[in-house]
Homo-oligomer: A and B are copies of this chain.
Amino acid sequence: MADTLEPRAAIRRMAPYSPPTAGRHGALRLDFNENTVGCSAHVLEFLRQHLSREALAVYPEYGEARRELADFFGVSPDQLLLTNGTDEAIQLVVNTYVDSGDEVCILKPSYAMYRFYAEVAGAQVREIPYEEATLAFPLAALLEAITPRTRAVLIANPNNPTGTGASVEQVACLLERARHAAVLVDEAYYEFSGLTLLPHLAEHPNLFVSRTFSKAYGLAALRMGCLISQAANIAWVRKGQSPYSVNAVAVLAARAAVQDRQYVRRYVEEALAARELLCSELDRMGIPYYPSQANFVLVRAGHRALELRDRLREAGVLVRDRSYELPGCVRITVGTRQQVRRLVEELERIW
């Protein structure tokens, strides 16, 4: 008998996924689409008030948060699930609907965790490519890829790393075509795009929307997401969720975050102004990029992509190379106009 333990074939087949998760301290972090200035002061104050030795010793309770967040999103509490970041929302949708061998449709390139959890489940993954010229939502190709064996469709709107989005009508079209499948619309960048499927929940019994507190809200450290769908779906999904997957600090922070709407509104306004500034500076410098509906811009740096990333890093500015999936492309998060000016200064020196 072999003296090593053999994992499942599905795990053996997977490509390793290791985003950079160290050495980011002290740098200007434009590499993970986080909020670049920090969360609302009200959130920190709320945490300081509620954290105590006793509170930390008690398993999390979710009732109040579920009611308050449901209210914030305009749904009922039984239509919403708190999740350990968006990642758990993706995993739950896959675990609830996708058996080994079932088909899952995803776009390419997109957020890595769609393929990741589909592969863990042993699914057949069908990747529908974006066309490089525009990176526009490939609706026709996606509709064509859906078969009677498709059990889930996992997309982000707007998409990451492309920054491009689908219209509500396009997603509705997808939802109709894939009525037999769970369709997850990951709205991680909703606050920047202003476009959401949530008002259409009642029309689509196969629609799942996820939201996160890791981007505009500035709470990536805490891992807080929400999964929203019709109540019957949420009841099924809940059956496969650990009763304590979301930590109590994330729950407190999310409750405080939705109380301070002004903070997020202002941060989003600043990020959109910063994105406009970055785009006009890129135009001026003759560096091509794709139009974005999110808090990042995908820049076409061509053969100098890796060099650009490395030289920016030397200057203390982190950006994310995406050339392994989109040749020559570098993704740059936008936060404030001041940060954009700092980045542009370095770009001018390097370019």
Contacts and interface: CB of A to CB of B under 8 A. Distances in A.
A113 B179 CA distance: 32
Given A7-B96, A205-B3, A247-B247, A53 B34 contact: no
A5 B61 contact: no
A60 B236 contact: no
A240 B120 contact: yes
A220 interface: yes
Interface in A221-260: 221-223, 232-233, 236-237, 239-240, 242-250, 253
Interface stretch (A39-47, A271-279, A297-305): A39-47
A205 to B, nearest CB: 5
Contacts of A37: 53-54, 57
A209 B267 CA distance: 44
Contacts of A214: 59
B247 A223 contact: yes
A5 B53 CA distance: 44
Contact of A61 (B24, B51, B54): B24
Interface stretch (A14-22, A131-139, A286-294, A338-346): A14-22
A243 B21 contact: yes
Contacts of A116: 242
B58 A236 contact: no
A137 B47 CA distance: 43
Interface stretch (A83-91, A192-200, A309-317, A322-330): A83-91
A38 B57 contact: yes
Given A22-B63, A99-B8, A240-B14, A218 B56 contact: yes
Nearest to A10: B99
B59 A98 contact: no
Nearest to A222: B247
Contacts of A3: 205
A218 to B, nearest CB: 4
Contacts of A59: 21, 32, 34, 214, 220-221
Interface of A: 1, 3-5, 7-12, 14, 16-19, 21-22, 24-25, 29, 32, 34-41, 43-44, 47-48, 51-63, 84-85, 87-88, 91, 95-100, 113, 116, 120, 122, 179-182, 205-206, 214, 218-223, 232-233, 236-237, 239-240, 242-250, 253
For the complex of A and B, the 5 pairs showing the least CB-CB separation, nearest first, are A38-B53, A221-B248, A57-B218, A38-B54, A87-B242
